[in-house]
Structure 1
Amino acid sequence: MNIPYVGSGPYCYANAFAMMFGAAAPSTAVIEFSTASPFGMQLIGGRLPFFDPYGWDPERGFDDALAALGWSSDVARGGTAEEALSGLKSALTHGPVWVGPVEMGYLTHQPGMKEPIEADHYVVVLEVDEERVLMHDPQGYPFALLPLTDFMAAWAAKTVAYGTPYTMRTRFVRQRNVTEVDIIKAAIPAAKQWLSMEHAPVMPAGSLGNSRAAEALAELVADNCDDALRGHLIHFAVRVGARRTSDAAACLARIGSVDAAVIVAEQARLIGSLQHPLVVGDDRRAAAALMNLVPTYDRLRAVL
C-alpha cells in the first residue's frame, strides 16, 4: 500500500506554481506529476545523481506541465540586471511574479546561506523597493525580506547548471478548467517520452540514465561516497526523489494504472530507504537499496 506523503520538503517550483494559481490550484502532487519529474533517474557526468529523468531539468518540464494543467503564462528571460529589475517592477503592478531558477546560496534569509552552493530554487516575489525584496520562499519562509543586492545575485543564477539568468513568469491565465484526473492523463505522454530517454538533450560525458544510473550510483556509494555526494543525496536528492515518486504512484492509481502505480510506489520506498543509511554511513546498505532500484525502470517502461 502506498500512503502518500504530506509534509515539508524541497518542492519549490510546484509550491510556487500553486501560489500563482491561487484558489484554482490542483494539489502539488498533481503539479509535480505534470512536469514528468518522477519518471526516471540520471547520473550527470558520472557523479551527480538526481531521481528524475535522464536529460530532464525543471525548465524542460514546465511548458508540458502548464499545458496539461490548463494554464498559460508569459515568460521573460535574460537581458541585463537593470532590464530584469525594471521588468520585475513593471510585472509586479499586475500581481505576484514567479521567479527562477535562482541560486539558493544567495538567499541569505535562509540560515547558513552566504555564498553559492550550486543549488537551484524558485520563489514568488510579492514586492520590490530600492533596498529589499519581499517574497514567499517555499523552502519554508513566507513573507521573507531579502536585500535587493542578494536577490539580484541569486536571480543571475550564474552557478545554476541550467536555465537563463533573470527568468520570470507572469500573467498566469487559466485557459480551461480541467480536473486533476484529466491533468494526470494529459501528462502521461510526456512521462513516457522522458522515461524512454529517446529525446534527451546532449549530456555531459559519462552521464547515465535509469537502470545504468542506479547501478553506477550504487558502486559510487559503496566505494567512494565523499562528503559532497553524501550531502547532495541526504539534503536534497533522496528527499525530493522519494516524495515525487510517492506522489506519482498516487496519481497513477487515481487513473487506474495500477501496475505502474505499484512499481513507482516500490521506487519511492527504495529511494526513501536510502536516507538513514547514508546519514549514518552505512553505505553498503544504501548501495544494496540502489541495486534493488535497477530493474524497476525497465519494468515501469514496459508497463506504461
Structure 2
Amino acid sequence: MSILGFSVRESVQARGTEMPVDELREALKQGPVMMGPLDMGKLVYNPNSPNLGGSDHYVVALNMRGDEICLHDPAGFPNVFLTLDKLEEAWKSEFPWSSGVYRRWWSPERIEHPDLEEINRRAFTWFKSTLTEQTHDIAAQEGRTGASAILHKAAQVRAGAIDGNEWAHYVYFALPVGARRAHDYGLFFKTIHPDLSALKYGQSRQFGECQSRLVSRNWEAAATIMVALAETEAMIEASILKME
C-alpha cells in the first residue's frame, strides 16, 4: 500500500486473546476489511478445504449478518459466508512468518500520488531488501533458503521421502500459487526488466511442470525439474540483488 501511495490502518492481537468481533464490526462500518493470514483448511465454504490445511490465505470481509460474516475470497469464492466460530478457527491460526493473530487492514487513504517510475523504484527497493532480510534471518537460524532449500527438497523428492500432507500442500497450494505468482511477476517486469521477466516466466512454467509430475507421483521427474527450479531461483536472486 505504501509503495502505491496509500496509508492504511492495521491491527493485530496477541496470541491467546479473543477474536476482536466488536472491533471488526466497527471497522466494517467504514468499508471492507482485509484479513489474514488465515488457515485455508478452516475455510469450509471452499469444498477443497480438507486438502489445504496449513496453507496461509487472505480474504476481504464485506459485512456481518448475525453470527455470520460475508467474505470475498480471491481463490474463486466471491460473496461467501462463514460462521464467526469458523472464522475464529481460521484467523487465530499461527504461522512462523507472521507475528500475532487476527491481523487486519482497513480504511486505506491516498496520501501520495507516485508516478509509475517512482512506484517501480520503490518496488525494486522492497524486493531487494526483503530478499536480503529473509536470507539473513534464515541463515541466522542455520536454515536453508533459495536455491539451497530447493535442492535439499529435490533430494528428498527423488528418494520419495515426503509424506501425504506435504505432497498435498505442494500439489494443491504451493506449486499452483508459485506458478501464478511467477507469471504475474513476469508480466510486471516485462517492460522494465526484460531479463528478469524472462526468468520469472520460465520459473512459472517450471512450477507448473513440477506440480504435474508430483500429481502423478513421478518422483524422479519432479526432482529433476526441482533442480532446474533451483538454478532459476539462483539467477533470479542474483538479478534482484543487482537492482538499483
Correspondence list, 1:1-304, <5 A: 66-78=1-13, 80-81=17-18, 84-111=20-47, 113=49, 117-158=53-94, 160-161=95-96, 162-179=98-115, 182-196=118-132, 200-201=136-137, 207-223=143-159, 224-255=161-192, 257-303=193-239, 304=242
The answer to whether the 8 A contact 1:101-1:163 is kept is: no
Per-residue CA deviations over 1:51-96 (Å, capped at 9, x if unaligned) read: xxxxxxxxxxxxxxx22122121111115326x1111111111111
% identity of equivalent residues: 27
Q: Distance in 1 between matches of 2:235 and 2:103?
A: 37
- Counterpart code for 2:211: Q
Corresponding residue pairs, total = 236
Q: Distance in 2 between matches of 1:115 and 1:229?
A: 10
The answer to whether the 8 A contact 1:107-1:114 is kept is: no
Q: Distance in 1 between matches of 2:134 and 2:31?
A: 39
Specify the SS of the correspondent of 2:61.
Answer: strand
Q: Distance in 1 between matches of 2:52 and 2:216?
A: 26
Q: Distance in 2 between matches of 1:230 and 1:147?
A: 30
The answer to whether the 8 A contact 2:175-2:210 is kept is: yes
Deviation at 1:234, TM superposition (A): 0.7
- Counterpart code for 2:165: A
Deviation at 1:266, TM superposition (A): 2.1
The answer to whether the 8 A contact 1:106-1:115 is kept is: no
Deviation at 1:294, TM superposition (A): 2.3
Tell me: CA distance 1:302–1:134, structure 2 relative to 1, closer, same or farther (3 Å). closer
The answer to whether the 8 A contact 1:74-1:171 is kept is: yes
Please tell me the root mean square deviation across aligned C-alpha atoms, in Å: 2.5
Q: Distance in 2 between matches of 1:254 and 1:298?
A: 22
1:56 is matched with none
Specify the SS of the correspondent of 1:77.
Answer: strand
Gaps of 5+ in 2: none
- Counterpart code for 1:218: A
Q: Distance in 2 between matches of 1:115 and 1:242?
A: 19
Comparing 289-298 with 229-238, which one deviates more in the overlay? 289-298
Q: With the length of structure 1 as denominator, give the TM-score of the two structures.
A: 0.70
- Counterpart code for 2:3: A
The answer to whether the 8 A contact 1:106-1:153 is kept is: yes
Specify the SS of the correspondent of 2:137.
Answer: coil
The answer to whether the 8 A contact 1:107-1:113 is kept is: yes
Per-residue CA deviations over 1:6-25 (Å, capped at 9, x if unaligned) read: xxxxxxxxxxxxxxxxxxxx
Gaps of 5+ in 1: 1-65
